[in-house]
Structure 1
Amino acid sequence: MSLAASGGSERAASGLDSPLEALLRPSAGQPFRWSEHQGRELLLVEHPRCQAVFSRQGGQLLHFRPRGERSLLWCASRWPRIGSIRGGVPVCWPWFGRHPMESGWPHHGWARLSDWRLVDKQSCASGVRLCWRLELHDWLVELEAELGDEMRLQLRTRHGDSEPCVLSHALHAYWRISDVARVGLLGMDGAEGTDLLAGAPCQQDGELRILDGCHKVFRRGGRVIIQDPDWGRRIRVDGGDNPNTVVWHPGTRPIGDVSWAEGLGFVAVEAAALGGDSLTLAPGEDACLRLRASVE
């Protein structure tokens, strides 16, 4: 069964936006405040130019809405009691997918399961800036966020061990859309990569559309436009000089704690460095991954 045959109108009729917006309210000029939701400690950001929600677990941006726009990010309404939160921008670090040698280690690494420390937060007329930090053994990783009319994220890793180490990482962004069967992704024409569902090389020809599932790793960063005619908007996602762009949606395959209709409301377009484009860091060397997004 294709996504186009699924009846995405069920979700559109619900009128739902981000399930986290109910937590946000005018806060007497205070742009930052802490709250708790479904067992997670959250930082709520309320600024004249945008609103946002972060989870201390994972240092994860769960919600971002520029003034006058719909939410840019999708987040599941129900979260597991233990484990990662599906939605927003999970940090996959220091490996992507399954660990190449340790089958019992968590999918997509330790970062999204660990509590991060908020080391800096600032507010100015144009928006807010925040920095989250995680220290694990000889690694130090920071997520810097600038939020206002647009979203800018930078993931920086500092390798402090005495031996070289391989790093793969991703900013696994879930973008909020009207219906995955009705959107098109522009900007990947000619890009080569791997279709992980087919287990074969692929090359994109023109607009990318998702009919029943997609998991492709392209060997290209740069700009992708998510064109959403039902909502009359285009989300510009820019991975800059990152080596990989990942496009993912589960299609008709179920995902835990997410209803069929809810799952139609996102497409993942991720900034990454993985597989053959993973990084080998020398002692003392840094690595950086960037993601920027706005509404056109």
Structure 2
Amino acid sequence: MSSRADVITRTGDWGSIAVSPFGATVVSWCPDGVERLFTASDASPVLGEMWHGGIPVCAPWFGRGRGDWSVPHPHGLVSRVSWRLVGEESRVDGCMLEWRTDAAATSHLPGAQHYPPDLGYSLRIEASATALVLSLRIDSPTTEVVVDEAFHPYLRTGLPATVSGLNGVAFRDFAADHAGSEDSALTVDRYVDRVYCGAPETTLTDDGARLGLAGDAASSLIIWNPGPGSGMVPGDEWRDFVCIEYGNVQGNAVTIPAGGEHTLRTLLQVS
């Protein structure tokens, strides 16, 4: 078990996990001695920025947002501030880390003025030899608010890879600018940017591994890879990952009543 100022690492016979306080971003998960997450080789985690890698938390907006105002940067506020580690448990078969931030920590960022000043965010991370579970709770003590939320995992894989479990689910394809529904497994081997109106259990499969994914209290699923030539990641590193993101975004954003809360969960299961 070790900690550095920039990354919190926990290890055991079950494997290891590392979390950056910047955005409470899971930057490494090795449940069986094999790294399951991707981080771009040019990533340079700093406060106020997002980077391509790990599992960022997107809230209180996703992508370019929605509504009648233009967001100053994609994917919200909470990934751009430092979170506090407020609790943890060590177990024989894994560990739990709990992180927290609030609207006061994000109040200096452009766009924060569109959201209640007392929003609270808690992230519970549970890691074991076979699974990783992330639970994001957003509470709004005094004001009703509509929020987008999503987990944005960069899953290490070799492309081409397939994502199954999507049959019959409607999507909007922002890469090809059309709408449709899946009738077979999706092969990821190019630029992909699809937002699904539904969040079924899925399986990511490549030549060497299978990873099961699921969401709880999620109504949206996003699959993304920048493809060649985007400049978002160096060289051919786009071939090394795919993002499969569970959340509630765009028309499926969540309304939290005054005094209420909402918890979104995602599960990654080695299979």
TM-score (norm 1): 0.82
1:45 aligns with 2:14: no
Gaps of 5+ in 1: 1-30
1:58 aligns with 2:37: no
1:35 aligns with 2:13: no
The whole-number CA distance in structure 2 between the counterparts of 1:234 and 1:124 is 26
Q: Alignment partner of 1:264: what SS?
A: helix
Mapped contact 2:43–2:53 kept (Cα < 8 A): no
> Which of 245, 265, 272 in structure 1 is aligned with 2:221?
245
The whole-number CA distance in structure 1 between the counterparts of 2:75 and 2:119 is 16
Question: Cα offset for 1:72?
Answer: 1.4
Alignment of 1:116-195 (within 5 A): 116-136=83-103, 137-149=117-129, 150-162=131-143, 164-178=144-158, 180=159, 182-195=160-173
Alignment of 1:225-236 (within 5 A): 225-229=203-207, 231=208, 233-236=209-212
Mapped contact 1:98–1:108 kept (Cα < 8 A): yes
| Aligned residue number for residue 187 of structure 2 | 209
Mapped contact 1:221–1:241 kept (Cα < 8 A): no
| Aligned residue number for residue 264 of structure 1 | 239
The whole-number CA distance in structure 2 between the counterparts of 1:165 and 1:275 is 14
Amino acid at match of 1:234: R
The whole-number CA distance in structure 2 between the counterparts of 1:289 and 1:75 is 24
1:292 aligns with 2:267: yes
User: Could you list the per-position Cα deviations for residues 150-179 of structure 1 after superposition, in whole angstroms to 9, with x for gaps in the alignment?
Assistant: 1011111001233x211001000110002x
The whole-number CA distance in structure 2 between the counterparts of 1:225 and 1:294 is 9
The whole-number CA distance in structure 2 between the counterparts of 1:71 and 1:46 is 13
The whole-number CA distance in structure 2 between the counterparts of 1:95 and 1:104 is 8
Gaps of 5+ in 2: 104-116
| Aligned residue number for residue 60 of structure 2 | 94
Question: Cα offset for 1:105?
Answer: 2.2
CA RMSD of aligned residues (A): 1.6
TM-score (norm 2): 0.89
* Distance change (3 Å), C-alpha of 1:81 and 1:172: closer
Mapped contact 1:223–1:240 kept (Cα < 8 A): no
User: Could you list the per-position Cα deviations for residues 241-261 of structure 1 after superposition, in whole angstroms to 9, with x for gaps in the alignment?
Assistant: 4101100001124234x2222
Mapped contact 2:65–2:250 kept (Cα < 8 A): no
User: Could you list the per-position Cα deviations for residues 121-164 of structure 1 after superposition, in whole angstroms to 9, with x for gaps in the alignment?
Assistant: 110111100101011131101110110121011111001233x2
| Aligned residue number for residue 78 of structure 2 | 111
Mapped contact 2:217–2:263 kept (Cα < 8 A): no
Amino acid at match of 2:179: P
User: Could you list the per-position Cα deviations for residues 225-249 of structure 1 after superposition, in whole angstroms to 9, with x for gaps in the alignment?
Assistant: 01111x2x11111113410110000
The whole-number CA distance in structure 1 between the counterparts of 2:101 and 2:254 is 19
Alignment of 1:219-230 (within 5 A): 219-229=197-207
